[in-house]
Amino acid sequence: MQTYTVTVEPLGAEIECREDQTVLDACLRDGVWLPHACTHGTCGTCKAQVLDGDLDLGDASPYALLESEREEGAALLCVARPRGDVTVEGEVDVEEGVDVHPVRDYTGTVTEVTEVAPRVRRLVLELDRPLAFNAGQYVQLQTPGGQTRPYSVASAPGDGSRIELHVKLSADGAATAGWIFRDLAAGHQVPVSGPYGQFSFRPAREQPVLLLAGGTGLAPMKSIIQHVDRTGGGHQVVLYHGVSTAADLYEHAWLEQFAAGHDWFSYRPAVSREEHGGRQGRVPVLLAEDYPRAAGNVAYICGSPEFVTDTMKALMKARLFPRDIYREDFFDSADRAAGTNVVRSPLIRR
């Protein structure tokens, strides 16, 4: 297998990258932390400029990497592979107080596959060695067909030898309908790599925390909640979990019990399409009612692109500005086909 040298500016770092390997993967495995989110050529977060050499642009979405940008030498590093030695200029993103964990490969043994909501399963994997990650990050699972799919880790970073994932069924999804919801069972082994993503808890920020989750966007929030509990960070935390029906409120009993036992934590479920004995409505609407002024908080948003965009707008209307908002959009194959691509402020954190 041919290997090429990728030079990353402005660092001047030289990374060895196989011809079948993406530039982003080679960089993350070497500890060079470049901006990234979906890792499948859909969101555009990892866009970089090619200064010298040639890249195979791979399966980059035409919505995330426009034809005009391709002509000007831009590439999405999460799907681009080298055709020779190459120099790229990336936005090297190292934030003070945030640990950088190089990506590594693991073998996970399935210990639990449980239905926790009509279209959601909890997947627990015992890894062959501990995974170091920040609360909020995700891993990639490799399907029997060789495809990779990202899933946020719902367990706390304290014990990386066991990770919990929350998986939503995607119609015709190769990883869900075609595998996890059909064949995957306890005892099966799964290739895992990680950690990925810049969406993670910032422990150095002492402001009150708003966790805003839509559907299985609850997964990284559960990791953050448990991390705050284990480390005793002293943060005040409010969690909103938005779903369509009461049956979709998975982890509801655990969250109610956790809130009852921790005075620093508040749980606010939001059901949009039916009455359930609690508040009815979408998270952005309820958030606006509760926080007409949200300044002074730090917000973490995770869910579908529509959920993230609407919730972010509600926060900004309440005068919580981009420097205090972290977001994670869950892009799936349907979003890719539809060309979903949210234009982001450079100040909004991933």
Domain-embedded: residue 346: no
CA distance 189 to 52: 41
Q: What is the mean pLDDT of residues 115-119?
A: 96
Task: Specify the DSSP class assigned to residue 207.
Answer: S
Place of tokens 């990925």: 196
CATH of the domain at 221: 3.40.50.80
- Asked if 147 and 267 sit in the same domain, the reply is no
Both 220 and 178 in a single domain? no
Q: Which of 46-60, 86-100, 217-231 has the lowest mean pLDDT?
A: 86-100
Does 277 have pLDDT greater than 80?
no
| Averaged pLDDT, 209-219 | 98
- Evaluate if residue 37 carries a pLDDT over 70: yes
- The rounded distance, in Å, linking the Cα atoms of 49 and 155 is 36
Choice between 63 and 330, residue whose per-residue pLDDT is larger: 63
pLDDT at 278 over 80: no
- pLDDT value at residue 94: 66
Q: Is the model more confident about 349 or about 114? A: 114
Is there a single domain that holds both residue 120 and residue 53?
Answer: no
Task: Give a yes or no: residue 49 inside a domain.
Answer: yes
Q: Which of 100, 103, 79, 76 is nearest to 88 (CA)?
A: 76
Q: CB within 8 A of 301, min separation 6: which ones? A: 212, 213, 217, 307, 308, 311, 312, 315, 325, 326, 327, 328
User: How many structural domains are present in the chain?
Assistant: 3
Judged against a pLDDT cut of 90, whether residue 16 lies above it is answered with yes
pLDDT band of residue 332 (cuts 50, 70, 90) is low
Residues 316 and 220 placed together within one structural domain of the fold: yes
- Quote the CA–CA distance of 30 and 22 in Å, as a whole number: 13
**DSSP per residue, 153-201:** B-S-TT-TTEEEEEEE--TT-TTIIIIITTT--TT-EEEEEEEE-S---
Q: Which long-range contacts (CB under 8 A, 24 or more apart) does 9-18 make?
A: 9/51, 9/87, 9/88, 9/89, 9/90, 10/89, 10/92, 11/92, 17/81, 17/82
- The answer to whether position 65 is within a domain reads yes
Indicate whether 273 pLDDT > 80.
yes
Tell whether the model's pLDDT for residue 196 goes beyond 50: yes
Higher pLDDT, 131 or 172: 131
Q: What residues make up the domain containing 168?
A: 104-196
Q: Residue 235 pLDDT > 60, yes or no?
A: yes
Is the pLDDT at 344 greater than 70? The verdict is: no
Same domain, 80 and 183: no
Domain check: are 311 and 251 in the same one?
A: yes
User: Does 349 have pLDDT greater than 50?
Assistant: no
On whether both 82 and 154 belong to a single domain, the answer is no
The most distant pair of C-alpha atoms in the chain lies apart, rounded to whole Å, by 61
Clarify whether residues 84 and 114 are in a common domain.
no
CATH number at residue 65: 3.10.20.30
Indicate the length of the chain as a whole number.
350
* Residue percentage of the chain with pLDDT more than 70: 93
Section 215-224 average pLDDT: 98
The pLDDT value given to residue 171: 86
Do 131 and 73 sit in the same domain of this protein? no
What average pLDDT does this structure show over 193-210?
Answer: 94
